[in-house]
């Protein structure tokens, strides 16, 4: 039985480590420079900066979605294991004192 538990821990640990390796980096927004009407080259450059930012921001949002899904899956797996192994002792306790209810 102990070998099975060790194998489960190794498997869950490896899965958790792999899931945590993606880093979502927020792109820097383009400078707030109003595009000139009389400089086509500079206007095109600024337009490209906005396009690049918006595409990168979309990838960033997708990355955050993947991270959210991964974190939710990990929490659910660990909570299920905790409840299985600890039964009624699997309770989150708070140190804060709540006022007595009348």
Domain boundaries, the chain: 40-85
* pLDDT given for residue 94 in this prediction: 82
For the chain, the residue count is: 102
Compute the chain's Rg from CA coordinates.
24
Q: What is the 3-state secondary structure of 56-96?
A: HHHHHHHHHHHHHHHHHHHHHHHHHHHHHHHHHHCCCCCCC
Q: From first to last of the 102 residues of the chain, give the pLDDT tens digit.
A: 445 544 455 555 555 555 556 799 999 999 999 999 999 999 999 999 999 999 999 999 999 999 999 999 999 999 999 999 999 999 988 877 666 555
Q: Structure pTM?
A: 0.64
8 Å CB contact between 25 and 59: no
Q: How far apart, in Å, do the first and last CA atoms of the chain sit?
A: 49
């Amino acid at each position: 039985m102990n070998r099975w538990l060790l194998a489960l821990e190794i498997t869950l640990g490896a899965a958790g480590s792999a899931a945590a390796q993606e880093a979502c980096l927020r792109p820097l927004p383009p400078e707030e420079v109003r595009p000139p009407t009389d400089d086509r080259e500079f206007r095109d450059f600024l337009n490209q900066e906005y396009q690049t930012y918006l595409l990168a921001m979309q990838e960033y949002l997708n990355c955050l979605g993947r991270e959210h899904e991964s974190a939710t899956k990990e929490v659910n797996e660990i909570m299920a294991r905790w409840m299985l192994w600890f039964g009624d002792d699997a309770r989150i306790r708070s140190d804060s004192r709540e006022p007595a209810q009348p």
